[in-house]
């Protein structure tokens, strides 16, 4: 971020130089010369790695309290809030690195059921804790690790009732090492006898005031752009959307590979292949391991002026013998039970990463209503899907009834032909091995290029006839 902001500052300074010299009659030559000089003489700084690293995660239970512990190289400010359906405690903090020991993540213990972690957005990391039932935060504070000199973030949760939990959904707790921490003194206490392997309880600090979280306001959609508008320079804009990312890993393959890593690798390969053809400008909704909400993926596509949107995924299924790719388009009614299951799973990506879906209902409704009024985009999506299926069949194994449809939230751009491509099944050994192979991914990328070429060629011919 430092390098980006510094570069932007340099550009503004240089631009102001240029404007001033233009007023004084120096001409374009000197403006260009000064811009180049500014870029050369002002030193650049490479992006830095995260300053704070998480080195371990532990969970314990003493019969009443469930304790969650993060070991960090140094303290950061942690912001806590809760979400329901399912019950979740969300921890937000500045971007951190993850250097965890080679052991499984904590399993169900006390009130703790499961967890996810990762980069939520640039500069912000998120940990999502799922709980078995409504909880309340008994205490949250930092301890100093006497052995390493690092800091230990401690979160104590106790059982609560539904009414109290719901009443606390619009509240947040902020904790840093420079403060005493947070303790809810009115909640029941418990003996720390079973906590010796985690961390000794700190003396009860004074409570930190609880402040309300700002409620997200629905925003109106921008005016619909013309479908398939030609871009500057005659290049079509293709947006590739690598599924999942950050705190949402997606499917986990038998070898331990994450879907979010497969999709970003595939997206980068498609981008390179398309751009080498000279016909396309390619935009990725994400180019790093970061979480992007579903609605923001659609917004980024529209902001880029996309002529085509392709979301990339790799599914899993109970029957590990099933393999092959497939292409999905949007429909109010799913083509089959498996398509419905997949759409339901993918549409939960925001929930997995700790987003309050209740705050998005009005805006999502606006998207859906506008989408239903844009049947032309849905028809174009189906045309592209059929063309793409033909090319995929030439280069890889595909499922029977390869073109399927269901209500995928990420395909609801109202004015952009959109498809979701399932590359294969990470639950199938051969598919997983193929998707980890750069050579195989290149075959898929080449098929994508052929399909996209055929689609736009057909579109152009239809318009000229």
pLDDT digits (tens, 9 = 90+) for 153-176: 999 999 999 988 988 888 889 988
* Strands annotated E in 23-111: 53-61, 66-72, 78-83, 88-94, 97-98
Whole-structure pTM value: 0.57
Helix (H) or strand (E) holding 237: strand 236-242
Cβ atoms of residues 388 and 312 within 8 Å: no
Which range has the worst mean pLDDT, 279-293, 322-336, 379-393? 322-336
Q: Is 2 exposed, middle or buried (0-12, 13-18, 19+ CB in 10 A)?
A: exposed
Please give the pLDDT value at position 348: 57
Residue 46 pLDDT = 43
pLDDT of 405: 78
Question: Tokens in use for 358?
Answer: 């209740």
Pick the residue with more confidence: 193 or 256? 256
What percentage of the chain exceeds 70 in pLDDT? 67
Locate tokens 């269901």: which residue? Answer: 406
Nearest in space to 423 (alpha carbons), one of 249, 248, 246, 260: 260
Question: Residue 183: what pLDDT?
Answer: 73
Architecture of domain 232-464: 3-Layer(aba) Sandwich (3.40)
SS (H, E, C) 293-359: CHHHHHHHHHHCCCCEEEEEEEECCCCCCCCCEEEEEECCCCCCHHHHHHHHHHCCHHHHCCCCHHH
| Secondary structure (DSSP) of 12-48 | HHHHHHHHHHHHTT--HHHHHHHHHHHHHHSPP-PPP
61-96 pLDDT tens trace: 988 899 999 999 988 999 999 988 888 999 999 998
Q: CB neighbours (10 Å) of residue 317? A: 16
Percentage of residues in the chain having pLDDT higher than 90: 37
State the helix-helix crossing angle for 438-464 and 375-395, rounded to 10 degrees.
140
Instruction: Domain ranges for the chain, please list them.
Output: 53-212, 232-464
Q: At residue 439, does pLDDT exceed 90? A: yes
Mean pLDDT of all residues belonging to the chain: 75
Give the CATH number of domain 53-212.
2.60.40.3500
What pLDDT is stored for residue 273 in this prediction? 97
Model confidence over 333-380: pLDDT tens digits?
665 666 566 556 555 555 545 555 455 444 444 444 444 445 567 888
Q: Is 70 exposed, middle or buried (0-12, 13-18, 19+ CB in 10 A)?
A: buried
Classify residue 437 by its DSSP letter.
-
pLDDT in tens, 216-255: 333 333 333 443 344 445 799 999 999 999 988 888 898 8
Q: Are 88 and 82 in contact, with CB atoms under 8 Å apart? A: yes
Measure CA 464 to chain center: 40
How distant, in Å, are the alpha carbons of 92, 249, 374, 390, 407 from that of 244?
Answer: 18, 6, 27, 26, 17
Give me the pLDDT at residue 104, please.
Answer: 80
Q: Give yes or no for a cis peptide into 251 (omega within 30° of 0).
A: no
- pLDDT at residue 40, rounded to an integer: 39
* pLDDT at res. 35: 38
Q: Is residue 401 very low, low, confident or very high in pLDDT (cuts 50, 70, 90)?
A: confident
Which of 68, 247, 95 minimizes the C-alpha distance to 156? 68
Q: Would you place residue 123 in the very low, low, confident or very high pLDDT band (cuts 50, 70, 90)?
A: confident
Residue 282's pLDDT is 97
Inter-residue contact 89 to 82 (CB < 8 Å): yes
Question: Quick one: pLDDT at residue 129?
Answer: 92
Indicate whether 188 pLDDT > 70. Answer: no
Q: What is the pLDDT of residue 358?
A: 53
- Lowest-confidence range among 189-203, 280-294, 314-328, 351-365? 189-203
pLDDT band at residue 19 using 50, 70 and 90 as cut-offs: very low
**Comparison of pLDDT for 319 and 368, the residue scoring more:** 319
Helices 361-372 + 294-303 axis angle, to 10: 50
Residue 400 burial (CB < 10 Å; 0-12/13-18/19+)? exposed
pLDDT tens for 265-290 read 999 999 999 999 999 999 999 999 99
pLDDT digits (tens, 9 = 90+) for 35-69: 344 443 434 444 455 789 999 999 999 888 999 99
Q: What pLDDT score was predicted for residue 260? A: 94
| The predicted structure's pLDDT at residue 6 | 37
Predicted local confidence at residue 355, as pLDDT: 56
Helix, strand or coil, per DSSP, at residue 146: coil
Average pLDDT over residues 132-146: 88
């Amino acid at each position: 971020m430092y390098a980006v902001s510094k570069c932007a500052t340099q550009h503004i300074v240089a631009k102001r130089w240029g404007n001033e010299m233009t007023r004084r009659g120096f001409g374009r030559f000197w403006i260009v010369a000064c811009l180049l000089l500014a870029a050369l003489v002002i030193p650049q700084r490479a992006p830095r790695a995260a300053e704070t690293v998480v080195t371990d995660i532990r969970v314990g239970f003493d019969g009443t309290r469930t304790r969650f512990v993060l070991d960090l190289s140094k303290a950061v400010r942690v912001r806590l809030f809760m979400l329901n359906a399912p019950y979740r405690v969300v921890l937000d903090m500045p971007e951190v690195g993850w250097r965890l020991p080679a052991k499984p993540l904590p399993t169900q213990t006390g009130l703790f059921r499961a967890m996810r972690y990762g980069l939520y957005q640039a500069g912000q990391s998120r940990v999502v804790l799922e709980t078995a039932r409504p909880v309340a935060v008994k205490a949250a504070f930092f301890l100093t690790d006497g052995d390493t000199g690092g800091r230990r973030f401690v979160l104590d949760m106790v059982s609560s009732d539904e009414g109290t939990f719901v009443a606390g959904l619009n509240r947040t707790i902020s904790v840093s090492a420079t403060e005493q921490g947070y303790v809810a003194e009115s909640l029941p206490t418990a003996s720390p006898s079973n906590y010796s392997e985690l961390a000794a309880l700190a003396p009860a600090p004074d409570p930190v005031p609880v402040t309300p979280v700002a409620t997200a306001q629905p925003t109106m959609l921008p005016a619909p752009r013309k479908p398939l508008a030609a871009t500057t320079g005659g290049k079509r804009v293709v947006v590739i959307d690598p599924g999942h990312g950050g705190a949402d890993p997606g499917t986990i393959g038998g070898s331990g590979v994450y879907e979010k890593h497969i999709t970003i690798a595939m997206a980068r390969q498609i981008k390179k292949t398309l751009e080498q053809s000279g016909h396309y400008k390619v935009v990725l909704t994400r180019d790093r391991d970061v979480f992007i909400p579903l609605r923001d993926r659609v917004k980024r596509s529209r902001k880029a002026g996309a002529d085509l949107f392709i979301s990339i995924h790799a599914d899993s299924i109970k029957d590990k013998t099933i393999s092959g790719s497939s292409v999905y388009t949007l429909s109010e009614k799913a083509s089959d039970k498996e398509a419905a299951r997949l759409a339901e799973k993918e549409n939960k990506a925001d929930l997995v990463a700790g987003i309050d879906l209740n705050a998005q209902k009005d805006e999502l409704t606006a998207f859906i209503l506008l989408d239903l009024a844009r049947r032309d985009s849905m028809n174009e999506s189906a045309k592209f899907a059929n063309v793409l299926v033909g090319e995929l069949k030439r280069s890889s194994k595909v499922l029977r009834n390869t073109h399927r449809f269901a209500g995928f939230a990420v395909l609801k751009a109202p004015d952009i032909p959109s498809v979701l491509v399932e590359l294969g099944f990470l639950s199938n050994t051969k598919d997983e091995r193929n998707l980890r192979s750069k050579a195989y991914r290149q075959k898929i990328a080449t098929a994508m290029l052929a399909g996209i070429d055929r689609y736009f060629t057909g579109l152009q011919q239809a318009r000229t006839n």
